[in-house]
Amino acid sequence: DIVMTQSPDSLAVSLGERATINCKSSQSVLYSSSNKNFLAWYQQKPGQPPKLLIYWASTRESGVPDRFSGSGSGTDFTLTISSLQAEDVAVYYCQQYHSTPRSFGGGTKVEIK
Amino acid sequence: QVQLVQSGAEVKKPGASVKVSCKASGYTFTSYGINWVRQAPGQGLEWMGWISPYDGNAHYAEELQGRVTMTTDTSTSTAYMELRSLRSDDTAVYYCARDGGWLPELAALWIWGQGTLVTVSS
């Protein structure tokens, strides 16, 4: 099974500043036949279901603001919020869908400093 | 619009079973897989399994094998998740979520249901 490890568990960032969340997989999630990383990022606000932000490690879902970006390949990935807005307060999860079980990271809580 | 609407909250006693439904609309039900994900109070997301509405093929998380069954009814575009021998640590919000299609690269979770709270308590 692939284990997903996120860091930090939480972070507090001033409005307008950059937030960076890391996600590491225990095995590569690069799918060789398509050369795509099967890694997604989700945002979950209190009382709501998760929302898909990014798939293939770096492709933004339609309608997601461009202050959200994903990067990385193989086993190391990053979600960056370039200029934190009040509405970005949430818990963020990475998930690999390279193989079953399609495991999630433990989540990173982002708050305003 | 594309949406998944889940059944309402449930309260069950330890040892009982629960069956949560997830009704799909706005798309061709058999063209996309349905995943089930749960979230215990204050905790993270746990992937439970996946089912293909096209042929009923299902994959379950190993720790739930033998207690969980996922099914679909294509006549009503509804997916079901049944969990048996409930324990207190099964208390969680259960979500259904649709993937992006049959290709492996589309297995991220694009559309989510609103969630169903299942409480297991004596």
Per residue in B4-36, pLDDT (tens digit) is 999 999 999 999 999 999 999 999 999 999 999
Spatial contact of B31 and B103, defined as CB atoms under 8 Å apart: no
Residue B116: which pLDDT band, with cuts at 50, 70 and 90? Answer: very high
C-alpha pair distances (Å), A112 with each of A88, A89, B101:
9, 7, 37
Does the distance separating the beta carbons of B95 and A38 come in below 8 Å?
no
Both tokens of B44, joined, read 């993270």
Does the distance separating the beta carbons of A42 and B109 come in below 8 Å?
yes
Residue A111: which pLDDT band, with cuts at 50, 70 and 90? Answer: very high
Question: Which one is predicted more confidently, A33 or A5?
Answer: A5
Min distance A49 CA to chain B CA atoms (Å): 6
Q: What is the pLDDT of residue B103?
A: 86
Spatial contact of A68 and A54, defined as CB atoms under 8 Å apart: yes
Q: Is the pLDDT of residue A32 over 90?
A: no
For chain B positions 76-115, those within 8 Å of chain A (CB to CB) are: 95, 97, 99-100, 104-105, 107-110, 112-115
Spatial contact of A36 and A29, defined as CB atoms under 8 Å apart: no
Q: What is the pLDDT of residue B105?
A: 82
C-alpha pair distances (Å), A81 with each of A5, A93, A110, A111, B83:
19, 14, 10, 12, 38
Does the distance separating the beta carbons of B44 and A106 come in below 8 Å?
yes
Min distance B62 CA to chain A CA atoms (Å): 8
pLDDT tens-digit readout, B56-112:
999 999 999 999 999 999 999 999 999 999 999 999 999 999 999 888 888 999 999
Q: What is the pLDDT of residue B102?
A: 85
Q: Which residues contact B40 (CB under 8 A, 6 or more apart)?
A: B46, B89, B91, B92
